[in-house]
Amino acid sequence: MKKICITVLVAVVALIAASDASAQGRRGLRLNEVMVTNDSSVTDDYGRRSAWVELFNSTFAPLEISSVFITDDPSNPKKYPVPLGDVNTRIPKRQHVVFWADGQPSKGTFHMNFTLREGQDNWIGVYDADGKTLIDEVTVPASLAPNTTYARSEDGTGEWEVRDGSGARHVTPSSANVIRDTNSKVEMFAERDENGFGMTVMAMCIVFSALLLLSVCFYVISKIGEHYSKGNKAKSHGAKLQELTREERPDSDSGEAIAAIALALHEHLDAHDRENTVLTINKVRKAYSPWNSKIYNMRQAPRH
């Protein structure tokens, strides 16, 4: 009975810990970009253009959002519950997902049951599974023009800004808000180390440093093993290694001795009977085979 209680207690604690970890992960969910009027922008899976809301997983682990709520009404935080059972609600790390505000939830998981109002301020909130904890919110201004979005300057962070597609303010549904076509660090390294000598020296230093570290580790491990070996030898003679002087302490086993012991153990443990390849055939007096036996026939001969 005591073991059962302990098992149940451990299971409850693990369940609470898992639930808390999942809740902490959902805190990383962010509203990332919103389009209210969609006349010539991206289309949904039915080929129709509707308002859309982009969510972003700002964590560095996959995030399951099938238990969160999306709403445009602060008084009704559970307005659109993200359905369970859809594998696409598991957002990979640092990735995006788009929900369509078309008021037609029967079309699928990513079609919400409300629409956004043109020419008005639109408040959008994301609530946790309890329907009370507000994860993120944004108020989209009424002045937002058609086919423009209200988005963060960087994914999951930064200030909100209007994006009309001009310059670096791209409309980016299901993609990063900042499009980087170059890497400044790579360009700087290529400029300062044109021939690659610096990269070669760094690579060689890393390799030799790793080898040196491995050598030190193996040396330390061998010394520890040697110490325990001497202690076991002294113990087998009824003495303690700490009580013996340096001259009285037993020597550690040499590599040759260890190899000889290992070979002896191999020969002892791997011993088996050796059979020759001579095959003996003895002929019996009466040749008999069950294949031609009458007692194994399928049908019995009728008796007269």
- As averages over each run of 10 residues, the pLDDT of the chain (304 residues) reads 55 46 70 95 94 96 94 96 92 95 96 95 96 95 95 92 86 87 73 81 93 94 82 77 74 77 82 64 66 60 60
Q: How far is 244 from 249, CA to CA, in rounded Å?
A: 6
Q: What angle do CA 228, 232, 237 make, to 5 degrees?
A: 150
Task: Report how far residue 164's alpha carbon sits from residue 149's, in angstroms, rounded to the nearest whole number.
Answer: 7
CATH (residue range 28-181):
2.60.40.1260
Q: Quote the pLDDT of residue 18.
A: 43
* pLDDT reported for residue 123: 97
Alpha carbon separation from 227 to 233, 241, 244, 279 (Å, rounded): 10, 9, 13, 56
Given this model, what pLDDT does residue 19 score? 46
* 167-171 LR contacts (CB < 8 Å, sep 24+): 171/33, 171/35, 171/41, 171/147
* Segments of the chain assigned to CATH 2.60.40.1260: 28-181
Q: What is the pLDDT of residue 284?
A: 65
Give the integer Cα–Cα distance in Å for 222 and 245: 22
* Cα–Cα distance, 81 to 66 (Å, whole number): 8
pLDDT, residue 232, reads 79
How high does pLDDT run on average in the chain?
83
pLDDT at 17: 40
